């Protein structure tokens, strides 16, 4: 599963697109375009302590058997993950997001506030070729955003050698 979620208030309030009339690829492109175009909203995940905590929780979900983690990136306003859930995707996202929201709000001094956007985007990845394309998209995301010159240079990405050996590939 390719899953993207973002910080609360990072998408424009007036966003409208009718996902039911779009292919999953078109729906993702529309959602991702909204994220990329949004200039307002919090960028809490640019803080190293928060980005580190989110990356660690994604990996802990894999280590605890909730999923197999393939690739991830923690961007300043959103997260992309390619993983294989062991059970319900909704339960997996709830587990990761619930614990990270609680801890992030404690760090930010915002206990009880909404941290993540309620909705998230998910797409089933059906082939190893598609998984390779999604993995490349995830790991190139910080390069495309101008946050680094090469995928391995971004600290909060599975492309960074620092994370090597900490996460098994799903395929």
pLDDT digits (tens, 9 = 90+) for 35-68: 665 566 789 999 999 999 999 999 999 999 999 9
Q: What is the pTM of this model?
A: 0.85
Residues 136, 137, 138, 140: is their CA dihedral positive or negative? Answer: positive
**What is the SS3 assignment for 125?**
coil
How far is it between the farthest Cα atoms of the chain?
43
Indicate if the pLDDT at residue 171 is higher than 90.
Answer: no
Domains and CATH numbers, the chain: 2-163 (3.30.70.1290)
How far apart are alpha carbons 117 and 43 in whole angstroms? 13
> What value does the mean pLDDT take over residues 91-120?
92
């Amino acid at each position: 599963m390719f899953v993207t979620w973002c910080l609360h208030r990072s998408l424009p309030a007036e966003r409208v697109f009718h996902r039911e009339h779009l292919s999953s690829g078109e729906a993702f492109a529309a959602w991702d375009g909204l994220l990329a175009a949004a200039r307002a909203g919090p960028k809490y995940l640019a803080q190293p302590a928060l980005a580190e905590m989110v990356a660690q929780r994604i990996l802990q979900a894999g280590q605890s058997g909730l999923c197999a983690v393939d690739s991830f990136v923690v961007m300043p306003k959103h997260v992309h993950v390619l993983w294989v859930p062991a059970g319900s995707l909704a339960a997996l996202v709830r587990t990761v997001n619930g614990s990270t929201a609680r801890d992030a709000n404690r760090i930010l001094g915002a206990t009880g506030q909404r941290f993540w956007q309620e909705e998230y985007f998910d797409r089933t990845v059906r082939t190893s070729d598609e998984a390779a394309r999604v993995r490349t998209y995830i790991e190139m995301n910080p390069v495309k955003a101008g946050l680094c010159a090469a995928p391995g240079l971004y600290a909060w990405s599975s492309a960074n050698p620092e994370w090597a050996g900490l996460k098994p590939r799903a395929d």
